[in-house]
């Protein structure tokens, strides 16, 4: 490299440095949009949506919080049952008593928090299907997550009903007000 070439190179480097220095500061790249809801969680909530819509507004966000927190613990939950009319409650009360099938409830129509839109039953989604694993530790974890969300857990009932969660707002519920007609 000749002296001239070296000088020219040094000069161009200097110009480059000056240009670089005089450049306005790089704008901060925009933060990518964050929905805050991973697609899998979104799918779980969508699957539960029709059921959630049958519930009173007081309990809905608590069930959503339960689904979200369980998802973050690696448990995929879906709502399988929510509001139930008194007639439907009476029908399932008879199941295992006067009609075929296992006993699924201890209470008649009007006595269940489901009849007030204040209870939901959940299942663990596995292979795309609702399942009720025979795993008491898993259900205890789910129960604890639900209670942290502000719900009462059926696993604490004298006859444990582990998939069941309910919420008791003031002034409404079995023995307090008549169930909604539906």
Footprint on this chain of Zn ion (rule: CB under 5 A): 119, 121, 164
* β-pair type (119-126, 164-166): antiparallel
Task: Name residues whose C-beta falls within 8 Å of residue 89's C-beta, 6 or more positions apart in sequence.
Answer: 105, 107, 108, 109, 110, 111, 112, 114, 115
Q: Contact 91/97 with Cβ under 8 angstroms?
A: no
Q: Which is nearer to Zn ion, 43 or 174 (CB)?
A: 174
Q: Which is nearer to Zn ion, 121 or 123 (CB)?
A: 121
Smallest distance from Zn ion to CB 33, Å? 38
Give CA–CA dist 142/148, Å, rounded. Answer: 10
Smallest distance from Zn ion to CB 174, Å? 13
Smallest distance from Zn ion to CB 155, Å? 11
Q: Which is nearer to Zn ion, 71 or 113 (CB)?
A: 113
């Amino acid at each position: 490299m000749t002296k001239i070439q070296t000088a020219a190179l040094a000069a161009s480097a200097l110009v480059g440095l000056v240009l670089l220095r005089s450049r306005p500061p790089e704008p901060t790249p925009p933060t990518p949009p964050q929905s805050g809801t991973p697609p899998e969680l979104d799918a779980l909530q969508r699957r539960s949506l029709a059921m959630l819509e049958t519930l009173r507004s007081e309990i809905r966000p608590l069930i959503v919080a339960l689904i979200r927190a369980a998802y973050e613990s690696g448990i995929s939950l879906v709502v399988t049952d929510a509001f139930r009319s008194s007639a439907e409650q009476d029908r399932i009360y008879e199941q295992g008593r006067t009609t075929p099938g296992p006993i699924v409830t201890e209470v008649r129509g009007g006595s269940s928090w489901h009849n007030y839109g204040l209870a939901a039953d959940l299942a663990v989604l596995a292979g795309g299907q609702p399942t009720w694993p025979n795993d008491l530790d898993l259900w205890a974890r789910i129960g604890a997550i639900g209670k942290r969300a502000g719900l009462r857990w059926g696993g604490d009932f004298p006859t444990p009903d582990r998939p069941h969660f309910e919420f008791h707002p003031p002034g409404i519920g079995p023995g307090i007000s008549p169930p909604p007609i539906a």
